[in-house]
């Protein structure tokens, strides 16, 4: 999964330094393929979900795993001013939140442990993936929106349908699937 190259084609003024600074920041955010918080899925296990971060682009995240059925379902793009330490802190707090939402009847998290070390991973099993995806998005939007890009969504008629964190769905997904999940996260 790779963000398509976008070009910022607005003229940046040279006579208004405040406006120029804002537009330079926007240009960097608009054109950059870097800094993401992502949700991964497994094509064979619909109860699997993984969260993760990357400071680079997304292309290495789906083929860098030992699970050939893993793919990046969707990623949310951060502001380019977000530091690695901030992104790691966001990931840690999101995982802590998800541990409280996605737990077994006995209160134990549904997050998997690494076999040898027994350290908790970023992978969750036996979860409702749709709910997981929405919980991740809504947690990030409600608690860390200042670190993420947001965007509005218009329908074919040009009507405003709401906003969400700036998203990039997997190219493997059919348009109707992307639209379904987008509708689940849009805020009016």
50: in domain: yes
Quick one: pLDDT at residue 153?
A: 87
28: in domain: no
Could you give the CA distance from residue 62 to residue 104 in angstroms, rounded to a whole number?
Answer: 28
Quick one: pLDDT at residue 64?
A: 53
Q: Is the pLDDT of residue 1 over 90?
A: no
Quick one: pLDDT at residue 159?
A: 84
7: in domain: no
Provide, rounded to the nearest whole percent, the portion of the chain with pLDDT above 70. 79
**DSSP letter at 13?**
P
Tally of structural domains, the chain: 1
Could you give the CA distance from residue 24 to residue 64 in angstroms, rounded to a whole number?
Answer: 33
Q: Please report where in the chains the tokens 């608690």 appear, as a residue.
A: 143
pTM for this model (two decimals): 0.82
Domain, as residue range, for 71 = 34-185
Q: Please report where in the chains the tokens 């790691």 appear, as a residue.
A: 88
- Chain center to CA of 131: 14
99: in domain: yes
pLDDT in tens, 34-73: 899 999 999 999 999 999 999 887 765 555 557 889 999 9
Residues near 153 by Cβ (< 8 Å), separated by ≥ 6? 160, 161, 162, 163, 164, 182, 186
pLDDT in tens, 81-117: 999 999 999 999 999 999 999 999 999 999 999 999 9
180: in domain: yes
């Amino acid at each position: 999964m790779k963000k398509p190259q976008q070009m910022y084609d607005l003229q940046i003024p040279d006579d208004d330094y405040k406006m120029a600074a804002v537009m330079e920041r926007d240009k960097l955010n608009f054109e950059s393929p870097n800094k993401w918080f992502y949700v991964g899925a497994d094509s064979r296990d619909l109860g699997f979900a993984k969260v993760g971060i990357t400071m680079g682009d997304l292309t290495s995240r789906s083929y860098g795993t030992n699970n050939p059925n893993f793919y990046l379902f969707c990623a949310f793009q951060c502001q380019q001013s977000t530091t690695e330490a901030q992104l790691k802190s966001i990931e840690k707090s999101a995982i802590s939140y998800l541990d409280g939402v996605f737990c077994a009847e006995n209160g134990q998290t549904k997050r998997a442990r690494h076999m040898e070390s027994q350290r908790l991973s970023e992978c969750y099993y036996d979860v409702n993936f749709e709910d997981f995806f929405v919980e991740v998005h809504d947690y990030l939007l409600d608690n860390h929106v200042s670190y993420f890009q947001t965007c509005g969504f218009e329908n074919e008629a040009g009507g405003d349908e709401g906003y969400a964190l700036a998203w990039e769905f997997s190219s493997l997904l059919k348009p109707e699937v992307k639209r379904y999940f987008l509708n689940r996260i849009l805020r009016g």
